[in-house]
């Protein structure tokens, strides 16, 4: 049985995120587990997520970005109130960033440069040497 779709195609956060994520070499979007994922061979970002727990205790973040940050950035992200520990992916080093900051940040108020930098770090960890070389050669959204 397929997962139910857990996002809105017209979500303004997702529309902006797509523009940034799909600007990386060979990046493509694929829906899995009811949510959009961005891949370049392997997945480097997910849109939407939740914390782990029972249905009555977990917190959903429908306008969130899930990334695999650089090790050097993990401590700072852990202190950021917009960040959360995503279910299933956290043991592998992934972090969630609530783009809407609990409903207090509109899409135009998001620091999209910060988002591009987080995507860049995540992309570099999974994309492979050829794609990373292409990114370095032509520049990317974080440049």
Per residue in 24-34, pLDDT tens?
Answer: 999 999 999 99
Question: What are the tens digits of pLDDT across the range 48-68?
Answer: 999 998 888 999 999 999 999
DSSP 7: S
pTM: 0.95
Q: Which of 80-107 are b and which e, b meaning 16 or more Cβ less than 10 Å from the residue's Cβ?
A: eebbbebbebbeeebbbbbbbeeeebeb
């Amino acid at each position: 049985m397929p997962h139910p779709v857990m996002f809105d195609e017209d979500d303004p956060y997702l529309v902006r995120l797509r523009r940034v994520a799909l600007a990386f070499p060979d990046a493509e979007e694929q829906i899995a587990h009811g949510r959009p994922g961005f891949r370049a061979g392997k997945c480097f970002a997910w849109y939407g997520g939740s914390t782990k727990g029972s249905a009555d205790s977990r917190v959903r973040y429908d306008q969130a970005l899930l990334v695999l940050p650089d090790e050097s950035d993990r401590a700072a992200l852990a202190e950021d109130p917009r960040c959360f520990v995503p279910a299933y992916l956290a043991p592998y080093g992934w972090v969630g960033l609530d783009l809407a900051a609990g409903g207090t940040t509109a899409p135009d108020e998001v620091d999209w440069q910060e988002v591009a930098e987080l995507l860049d770090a995540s992309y570099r960890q999974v994309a492979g040497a050829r794609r990373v070389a292409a990114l370095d050669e032509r520049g990317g959204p974080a440049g």
